[in-house]
Structure 1
Amino acid sequence: MNKTLVEKIRCMLSNAGLGRKFWAEAVTYAQHLVNHLPSSAIGGKTPLDVWFGKPATDYDSLCIFGSSAYYHVNESKLDSRAKKALFMGFNVGIKGY
């Protein structure tokens, strides 16, 4: 699994055009993908389904690592309400990116 994660991280960082300093965000998102996507090694089930008995079928929330994302700001009435950023993964316990 370590080799699999390292290969995924290398590919994600390369495709996003990011350097090594973002390896922690890449490994967090890579393990998120591994846990939420079906695997042929366990009969086409997801690891979350095998561990907890609840299927992870919400694929709408998956995004491309390093893609454009926007976050909400509330600075003043006339300023824009969103600013552009890069998608780096999910925060635990927060509904959003």
Structure 2
Amino acid sequence: MTAVEPERNGDHDAALDVPQHRFTPLSFGDARAIGEAYRKGEAVLIDLTQLSDRIAVRFVDFSAGLGFQAGGQMSRVASKVYLLAHAAAPSPPTPVARSAS
């Protein structure tokens, strides 16, 4: 897995004003690190572009469960890229179009 620190505003995403981590998992075994970052109160940007569709669906289900359990929200920001944020964090600045699939 590749964990990349945010590029904007040091350790914070300027749009969300909360600590944010970007993860590019390479297998489902990388899910734990995503859960741990989210549990610390950080927003998590999950880039699933390196995964097969089957494994990407598992990550989406896992991440949606994390968000639901904590009262957070999950938004699709691009194809196979999702933002998992806590309820107190504002939504992404641009609306996300829902796909038909």
Q: Do they fold alike, i.e. is TM over 0.5?
A: no
Please give the TM-score of this superposition, normalised by the length of structure 1.
0.29
Higher relative contact order (CA 8 A, sep 6+): 2
More helix by share: 1
